[in-house]
Structure 1
Amino acid sequence: MIKGKKILSLLLTLAIGGSVLAGCASTENKAKGENNKPINITYVKAPLNVPSIIEKNKESFEKEFEKDKIEVKWHEITSGPQQTQALAAGEIQFVHALGGTSAILAASNGVDLKIINVYSRAPKAFMIITKNDDIKSSKDLLGKKVAGPKGTVLHQLLLGTLEKDGLKQDDIEFINMGIPEALAALNNESVDVALLAGPAALNAIKAGGKVVANGEGIVEGTIVTAVSEKFLKENQELVNRFKKVHEDTIDYINNNLDEAMEITAKEVGLTPEETKEMYSWYDFDSNISDKDIEELKRTQEFMLKNGLQEKEINIEDLIVK
């Protein structure tokens, strides 16, 4: 009888031990990402988002997370409002290259959004372009048809330029449309002016357009990378690894500029020389500086003043320290 009890005790011990080991294995597998959902990232290559182009081409995030069996999916969503809607719906985890204006507007409307780094700053890359010989300065925009994307850095540039000359949006005929559509409208002369950036701006200039103004002295053109606070809290290590891959990509570009320009040129339809010229307009340092925060504050003030934003928010609350 005693012998039977000893055998039963041994079997129970083995069963419990096996259960504990199985539990540890299950936890370990989960940590490795066997049960993790895919990581969804927005892919925005315009105006000239060299890091994203390189990261997608080199499969940088795929290589980082494949060891954890986490699938990476890219989604070409270029509209700021659509990007933040996808973030709010949980369809996108990393909004990679989101206009500062769109980030602030979304947050002010209740979207759960945190800025994890600055993607770029490029005041020279955002332009107001015309083919109308009568338009020689921003003062000549009075009464003219101007096409471009509403609620973006380009829209902020337009309103800031008008304000410098004592004008406001009501003094022009503003038509809300995307950059490709605005370029087409400018080329077929259905509008007088287009708000353009990156390759579209360069192509417009090559086709006879002239720059009325760019962002210098008006807007920095701050672009950011954002996640939801919920995702951040649940996946802090994953977010840190994402940021590290992005920083490594910037180092790669700096150390292999010619190769990076070749890859980017093929993606955006420019020559390597044109791509390198445009690249010089950009600052891709991902660190969030005090100057960046002040610029985002000025952006909010500007949007509130011009009726583009209703509710004021604390910009510092958006920043992941």
Structure 2
Amino acid sequence: MKILKKVGIICSCMVLITTSLIGCGSTQTSKDANNKQEAVENVKNINISYVKAPLNVPSIVEKKKNLFEDEFSKDSIKVTFPEITEGGKMTEAVAAGSLDFCNAIGATSVILAAANGVNIKIIGMYSRAPKAFTIMAKDPSIKTVADLKGKKIVGPKGTILHQLLLGALKNGNMKIEDVQFINMGIPQGVSAMMSGSADVALVAGATVPQAIEKGAHVITTGEGILDATIVIAASGNFLDKHPDIAKRYMAVHNKSLEFMKSNQEETYKLASEETGISIDKVKEMYTWYDFNPQITDKDMKELEKTQAFLKENAMLNKTIDIKGLIKDITK
């Protein structure tokens, strides 16, 4: 009888301990849920940059189909889309706290900003489109990279296009000193080329077929030279405070990619209406793009190449840890 009583007491104690542990686990889970909910409630507005050119189809789908609004309106969070088209301006806005997500920004801009102390992180790839970035000329005698020697070339400095030019020159055993390079925006550069005040222009996206229609031709694209890496970046401060919001952001982005696969004709129509490019041209350009958001080993090598390009051309004095620039928000 005494043994039975002891066994009964032990069993009772074990039940009490187990119940206590379950209660602690439930309490902790409840606390975590409350903390997450409180973090979401503290977010009243999310600012996501909107850049539709050269042909940023996921952004166009996300905006036209109200995908971000549908997701975040559940928590009464307002989504705004400031149209900041320059990478440098985007990173300035991130530094100022007025932009949370850069939905399509050149890797060059992110690396430069991070090296200058801006708390910014890459959370995914936006696109790779080497064929969308070109070196063009109107003069029919300028046919190859070798013909660029001594020519006046216009284009945006410190960008993928600038990197393309340097890569093309290197392949042709030339340096930037072998040409006259002038920093100029794409539209202005195309105008200068067409008017004859410049020999060659660095041109990207929808402006390429438009320039061809006016009589220009492509000397080379980025194929075999660079991947033309565009990334998705976010404020490091925002990511630290609201990791769940960032996960939902990427889930919406993935949803836009699924829409693009399942509704191709509607996708072409949306992109055509938003950019003013004919549907036929949209279909042609669409094949130039790889919108896979996963960061691959090849992407990491391209980011390293981009940093080397910036440093070699005196645009970057301090190098950064590229791996440290990546934020894995799936954890």
For the 8 Å contact 2:162–2:202, the answer to whether it is kept is: yes
SS of the residue aligned with 1:163? helix
Answering whether residue 44 of structure 2 is matched by residue 71 of structure 1, we say: no
Answering whether residue 233 of structure 2 is matched by residue 230 of structure 1, we say: no
1:84-130 CA distances to partner (integer Å, 9 max, x unpaired)? 11111111000110101111111111111100000000111100010
Whole-Å Cα distance in 2 between the matches of residues 79 and 36 of structure 1?
Answer: 26
**How far apart are 1:30 and its partner, in Å?**
6.5
Instruction: Give the corresponding residue for 1:261.
Output: 268
**How far apart are 1:306 and its partner, in Å?**
2.2
1:122-152 CA distances to partner (integer Å, 9 max, x unpaired)? 1111000100122111111122111111111
1:240-251 aligned within 5 A: 240-251=247-258
For the 8 Å contact 1:127–1:213, the answer to whether it is kept is: yes
For the 8 Å contact 2:39–2:241, the answer to whether it is kept is: no
**How far apart are 1:34 and its partner, in Å?**
5.0
SS of the residue aligned with 1:42? coil
What's the TM-score, normalizing by structure 1? 0.89
Correspondent of 1:316 among 307, 314, 323: 323
SS of the residue aligned with 2:153? strand
For the 8 Å contact 2:46–2:77, the answer to whether it is kept is: yes
Compared CA separation, residues 205 and 114, structure 1 to 2 (3 A): same
The one-letter code sitting in structure 2 at the alignment partner of 1:157 is: L
Instruction: Give the corresponding residue for 1:188.
Output: 195
1:231-251 CA distances to partner (integer Å, 9 max, x unpaired)? 101010000000000001001
Answering whether residue 227 of structure 2 is matched by residue 220 of structure 1, we say: yes
Instruction: Give the corresponding residue for 1:16.
Output: none
Whole-Å Cα distance in 1 between the matches of residues 41 and 308 of structure 2?
Answer: 45
For the 8 Å contact 1:33–1:69, the answer to whether it is kept is: no
For the 8 Å contact 1:179–1:197, the answer to whether it is kept is: yes
Instruction: Give the corresponding residue for 2:57.
Output: 50
1:1-41 CA distances to partner (integer Å, 9 max, x unpaired)? xxxxxxxxxxxxxxxxxxxxxxx9xx799638555231111
**How far apart are 1:45 and its partner, in Å?**
0.8
**How far apart are 1:188 and its partner, in Å?**
2.1
SS of the residue aligned with 1:223? strand
Answering whether residue 207 of structure 2 is matched by residue 200 of structure 1, we say: yes
| Cα RMSD for the two superposed structures | 1.7
Whole-Å Cα distance in 1 between the matches of residues 316 and 222 of structure 2?
Answer: 21
Whole-Å Cα distance in 2 between the matches of residues 181 and 59 of structure 1?
Answer: 33
The one-letter code sitting in structure 2 at the alignment partner of 1:91 is: S
SS of the residue aligned with 1:313? coil
Instruction: Give the corresponding residue for 2:125.
Output: 118
**How far apart are 1:189 and its partner, in Å?**
2.1
The one-letter code sitting in structure 2 at the alignment partner of 1:188 is: S
Instruction: Give the corresponding residue for 1:211.
Output: 218
The one-letter code sitting in structure 1 at the alignment partner of 2:96 is: A
Answering whether residue 49 of structure 2 is matched by residue 59 of structure 1, we say: no
Query: Kindly, what percent of the aligned residue pairs are identical?
Result: 49
**How far apart are 1:182 and its partner, in Å?**
1.5
Compared CA separation, residues 160 and 261, structure 1 to 2 (3 A): same
1:198-235 CA distances to partner (integer Å, 9 max, x unpaired)? 11011111211111111011110010011122110101
Instruction: Give the corresponding residue for 2:116.
Output: 109
For the 8 Å contact 1:93–1:227, the answer to whether it is kept is: yes
Instruction: Choose 160-169 or 214-223, whichever is displaced more.
Output: 160-169
Count of residues in correspondence between the two structures: 296
Whole-Å Cα distance in 1 between the matches of residues 94 and 226 of structure 2?
Answer: 25
The one-letter code sitting in structure 2 at the alignment partner of 1:168 is: K
For the 8 Å contact 1:253–1:260, the answer to whether it is kept is: yes
Instruction: Give the corresponding residue for 1:19.
Output: none
Whole-Å Cα distance in 2 between the matches of residues 209 and 192 of structure 1?
Answer: 11
Instruction: Give the corresponding residue for 1:18.
Output: none
Answering whether residue 169 of structure 2 is matched by residue 162 of structure 1, we say: yes
SS of the residue aligned with 1:241? helix
| Runs of 5+ consecutive residues of structure 2 not aligned to the other structure | 1-30
Instruction: Give the corresponding residue for 2:305.
Output: 298
Compared CA separation, residues 108 and 28, structure 1 to 2 (3 A): closer
What's the TM-score, normalizing by structure 2? 0.86
Whole-Å Cα distance in 2 between the matches of residues 233 and 32 of structure 1?
Answer: 11
SS of the residue aligned with 1:75? coil
